[in-house]
Chain A
Amino acid sequence: MEHTATHEEHSGGGVKEIVRVTVILSVLTVVELALGFWMMGMPLGSGSRLAVKGAIIILMMAKAFYIVAYFMHLKHEIKNLIMTIVVPLALFVWFIIAFLYDGNSFRNLRNTYDPHFKEQSTIQAPKKAEHGEAKHEEGKEEKKHEETKPEEKKAGH
Chain B
Amino acid sequence: MSTTTVTPTKLWSGGKSPFNVEYGKLMMWYFLMSDAFTFGAFLISYGTIRFSTNGWPDPNEVFKSFPFAPEGVHAPLVFVSIMTFILIISSVTMVLAVHAGHNMDKKKVVKNLIWTIIGGVAFLSCQAWEWNHLHHEGAWWGSNPFVNHDGTASSTNFTNYFFTITGFHGFHVFSGVIINIIMLIMTLMDKFEKRGHYLMIEKAGLYWHFVDLVWVFVFTCFYLV
Partners in one complex: yes
Are A150 and B58 neighbours in the complex by a CB distance under 8 Å? yes
Residue B65 CB within 8 A of the other chain:
yes
A153 and B33 alpha carbons, distance in the complex (Å): 42
Shortest CB distance B88–A (Å): 5
Known A5-B20, A135-B138; judge A100-B47 contact (CB<8 A). Answer: yes
How long is the Cα–Cα vector from A104 to B50 in the complex, in angstroms? Answer: 9
B150 at the interface (CB under 8 A from A): yes
A60 close to B20 (CB less than 8 A): no
Determine how close the nearest CB of chain B comes to the CB of A31; give it in whole angstroms.
11
Separation of A88 and B32 alpha carbons in the complex (Å) = 12
Q: When the two chains form their complex, are residues B216 and A84 in contact, meaning their CB atoms are under 8 A apart?
A: no
Total residues of chain B contacting the partner, CB 8 A: 77
Q: Which of A72-113 contact B (CB under 8 A)?
A: 72-73, 77-78, 80-81, 84-85, 88-89, 92, 95-96, 99-100, 102-104, 106-107, 110-111
Interface band, chain A: 35 or more
- A125 CB contact (under 8 Å) in B18, B64, B151: B151
Give Cα A65 to B198, complex, Å.
25
A139 touches B153 (CB 8 A): yes
A73 CA / B133 CA spacing, docked (Å): 37
Mostly, the A contact residues are helix
Enumerate chain A interface residues (CB-CB to B < 8 A): 1-2, 5-6, 8-10, 13-15, 18, 22, 25-26, 29, 32-33, 35-37, 40, 44, 53, 56-57, 60, 63-64, 67-68, 71-73, 77-78, 80-81, 84-85, 88-89, 92, 95-96, 99-100, 102-104, 106-107, 110-111, 118, 121-126, 128, 131-136, 138-140, 147-151, 153-157
Chain B residues in contact with chain A, CB under 8 A? 1, 11, 16, 18-21, 26, 29, 33, 36, 40, 44-45, 47-55, 57-58, 60-61, 64-65, 71-74, 76-77, 81, 84-85, 88, 91-92, 94-96, 99, 102, 133, 136-138, 140, 143-155, 202, 205-206, 209-210, 212-213, 216-217, 220, 223-225
- Pairs of residues from A and B, 6 with the lowest C-beta to C-beta distance, nearest first: A139-B153, A103-B51, A121-B54, A103-B48, A134-B138, A125-B147
